[in-house]
Structure 1
Amino acid sequence: MEIKSVAVLGAGAVGSYVIWGLSGVKNIELGVVAEGERAKRLKEKGCTINHTVYHPHVWTPQEAYGVDLLVVSLKYGALPGALESIREAVGENTIVMSLMNGVDSEEMISTVIPKANIMYSLIKVASHKEEDGYCFDPETTIGIIFGELEAPYESERVRAIEELFADTGIHFRHTDYIREEMWSKFRLNVCNNLPQAILGAGVGCYRDSIHMKAISEGLRQELEAVAAAKGIDISKAAASSSHGSAVPPFARYSTLQDLDAGRHTEIDMFSGALIRMGKESGIPTPYNEYTYHMIKALEEKNDGLFDYEGKTEESTWSK
């Protein structure tokens, strides 16, 4: 098996890393899946990554049909609307890698394509948006982690992806514990991404505040209880996932970046999904329920729901 064509669905913070890495590979076709105004903009302006403009092909889902590898790198809220595009792009032998956050995007994608096409995967990249595009540090980026759910773990598909990424600048590794690694990253997002977003402060808050540590710990205990109920032993990923790229204390993770920019967050994929799984397993998740509703309220604040200045509506009485 050899991967000769790659399509990227979602050319944002995550998709930019893949486009950056594969743009220099001469013996593959690389394209971005897009339609309408977005396709027109990509054709005209390309993708600016680390202050360099790249011009991958721009394909409709139908034009991308049958690519050897489809990388899905969308925001969680965009996935339901993109499922038809995924279905139209995937051929019999297409490998699909979802580099989205969370632990249930593969489940959603498998409602429209065979589960056998999916290569479970995750990405760790600290991208941020600047005026001219997305930026990241290639050297400190941990990169893409992927693997088969069951043996043989060093499958033909795994070897083909390794050969594709070799000598591209993309950091990568395959693992025999991909589900545990995905849950390990899920834990990082829930416990470190979310409390910071509510506080509106840099990641140094976990070092400097016992109260932030307590909130993070409460979220962690709930997540690990749900994982254990699902038969997932996150400790299997501990050796390979315990290290990460260093970040300064003022760094702001993706959920806070979304709130800062007035965007809706991926809270449904984080605490929202964990609350649902907790109910299915009979495990209470009060820390996640509070966190979920707080971030939803912050989204409403960004939407202007609480802009009462100058309004002449009937008074609200406190009791």
Structure 2
Amino acid sequence: MDSDPHIVVAGAGSIGCFVGGLLAAAGRNVTLLVRPRIAAEIRAHGLTLTDLDGMAVQVRADAIGLSEDPACMEEADVVLVTVKSRSTDALGREIAQYAPRHAPVVSLQNGVTNAEVLRKRLPGRDVRAGMVAFNVVPMGQGCYHRAVEGDVVVEAGPGDLAAVMQAPGLECVESRDIESVQWGKFLMNLNNALNALSGLPLQEQLKNRGWRRLMADQWAEAYSVLKACGIKPKSFTPVPVGALPLVLRLPNAIFLRLASAMLKIDPQARASMSYDLMEGRPTEIDALQGMVVRKGAEAGVPTPINAMVVDVMKTAELAEEGLPNLTPESLRAELSQNRPS
């Protein structure tokens, strides 16, 4: 790989702007393939990248490439894919059309099937799965705030991609067991939908035992499906994957003492689905709870909680009224109504 590779971040939203911005701040040659609204915002204000530990990085608009044309991938040495899962196939076609065959393609997306979708569109190319352990909050005027700690993990392969994707404030490591890493993050991401439906910031939601108990039941249901399918997700907490529901169900006084690391979140942070609903965009519910439901059907494992969450989220999307501000009790009532008599 070139000593100064041209990195194109394809579909740069919150994660893409944050990762690409930190790489550009470290002197990397970066182009963001972005929507017109985001391009205009960055041209006007540059990028400001912050985190809950006090990091504040400024990137001038002329220090990072901006394009709304996928032809910008023609000179890419690395393509980082950060679009929503529903757009992966379409972007794969554009990568096939424009990006050089030698350029590694790295999926930094939620869900567990995106790399496989890209491989089908890009046969014979170096396509890597990846995982971003943190979430990023769009603050407006080119400001993106990392609200939860975590690293970037990419699938191990030829060359030292982790070194290319590493910068001050951005840790990147390679893994030879990326599937377990992705499934572990998948389980964590199941709370995205509950957080959006609650209308609460993540920290406030986690401090509510009613929400945690529903999170625990949803997690246990999904974990049962993964076990039935022979999938072994990696834990992202000191607690084993199968035991996390027990921790979530603890009374507040005990939970707040034992799980302080889980609560190291910016007080205003919300899951990405919250911003999808607020902006009237489709969510990634089909790639998360929808995946649990589909795999449960294949394995013969009932998934009433995840199916209910899919139904309620689809209703919220159709309503286009922003955050529903539901309670865990109202969702359990929905579950009871849908249960066969």
TM-score, with structure 1 as normaliser: 0.78
> Would the aligned equivalents of 1:16 and 1:49 in 2 still touch at CA under 8 Å?
no
Cα distance in 1, alignment partners of residues 109 and 169 from structure 2: 20
User: How far is 1:195 from its partner?
Assistant: 1.7
Report the number of matched residues. Answer: 291
Aligned residue type for 1:179: E
Residue 156 (structure 1) aligned to one of 150, 155, 158: 158
Residue 270 (structure 1) aligned to one of 278, 288, 291: 288
User: How far is 1:30 from its partner?
Assistant: 1.9
Cα distance in 2, alignment partners of residues 293 and 142 from structure 1: 31
User: How far is 1:220 from its partner?
Assistant: 0.9
Would you tell me which structure has more helix in proportion to its own residues?
Answer: 2
> Would the aligned equivalents of 2:76 and 2:100 in 1 still touch at CA under 8 Å?
yes
User: How far is 1:97 from its partner?
Assistant: 0.9
Does residue 256 (structure 1) correspond to residue 263 (structure 2)? The answer is: no
User: How far is 1:62 from its partner?
Assistant: 3.6
> Would the aligned equivalents of 2:185 and 2:236 in 1 still touch at CA under 8 Å?
no
Cα distance in 2, alignment partners of residues 34 and 57 from structure 1: 10
- The SS at the match of 1:97 is strand
Going from structure 1 to structure 2, the CA distance change for 1:10 and 1:228 (only over 3 Å counts) comes to same
1:125 aligned partner: 134
1:200 aligned partner: 199
Does residue 22 (structure 1) correspond to residue 23 (structure 2)? The answer is: yes
- The SS at the match of 2:96 is helix
Unaligned runs of 5+ in 1: 149-154, 305-319
Aligned residue type for 1:218: D
> What whole-Å deviation, never above 9, does each CA across 1:283-315 have from its counterpart, x for those lacking one?
2211111000101111111169xxxxxxxxxxx
- The SS at the match of 1:101 is coil
Cα distance in 2, alignment partners of residues 206 and 168 from structure 1: 30
> What whole-Å deviation, never above 9, does each CA across 1:15-62 have from its counterpart, x for those lacking one?
112221221344x53222358x57974895485333644342345434
Cα distance in 2, alignment partners of residues 247 and 43 from structure 1: 26
Does residue 54 (structure 1) correspond to residue 71 (structure 2)? The answer is: no
2:91 aligned partner: 82
Going from structure 1 to structure 2, the CA distance change for 1:18 and 1:259 (only over 3 Å counts) comes to same
Percent of residue pairs identical: 21
Aligned residue type for 1:32: L
Cα distance in 2, alignment partners of residues 109 and 33 from structure 1: 17
> Would the aligned equivalents of 1:102 and 1:269 in 2 still touch at CA under 8 Å?
yes
Unaligned runs of 5+ in 2: 50-57, 242-260, 323-341
User: How far is 1:109 from its partner?
Assistant: 1.4
Structural RMSD (CA): 3.1
Aligned residue type for 1:68: D
1:291 aligned partner: 309
> Would the aligned equivalents of 1:61 and 1:88 in 2 still touch at CA under 8 Å?
no
TM-score, with structure 2 as normaliser: 0.74
- The SS at the match of 1:65 is helix
